[in-house]
Amino acid sequence: MIYRSLADIAFVAHLIFVIFVVFGGLLVVFWNRLAWLHVPALIWGVLLEWNAWICPLTPLENWLLRRAGVPEYGGGFVEHYIVPIIYPDHLTHEMQLVLGTLLLAFNILIYAWVFWRRRVNTNERS
């Protein structure tokens, strides 16, 4: 029972991290200092996608599921939980390259807007 609960906690932490990587730039709009956490997380997420790496939380979740007597899942977290929601087919490396690039582009746009807004506000105060 404890391993299943720990696997669930790992799953929730994994999901929160993925959401933060994708949408954390939007939080930076309101809390600029959050960029110090988001940028490294974003770089990690993009590298995971571009290189088809498996996030270290995935083996942890699978190990906990095995210890709980629950079948583990194959592939990575995004491939197992997120991609079936968005894409009907299995995740390919080409799809991962596109996802990583879209993730990076989306957040570059957000950060460009944050810096532009900050610059406009600074110039208005001068």
Query: Is 24:37 a contact under the CB 8 Å cutoff?
Result: yes
Q: Tokens in use for 21?
A: 């990587």
CA–CA distance, 36 with 1 (Å, rounded to integer): 37
Confidence (pTM): 0.77
CA–CA distance, 89 with 41 (Å, rounded to integer): 27
Ranges of the chain with pLDDT below 70: 72, 74-80, 82-89, 126
Q: Tokens in use for 16?
A: 């929160």
Cα Dmax for the chain:
64
CA 21 to chain centroid, in Å, comes to 4
The pLDDT tens digits for 81-99 are 765 664 446 778 888 899 8
Query: Is 18:78 a contact under the CB 8 Å cutoff?
Result: yes
Query: Is 68:3 a contact under the CB 8 Å cutoff?
Result: yes
Would you state the pLDDT for residue 122? 76
How many angstroms separate the Cα of 102 from the Cα of each of 10, 45, 54, 109?
Answer: 26, 12, 19, 11
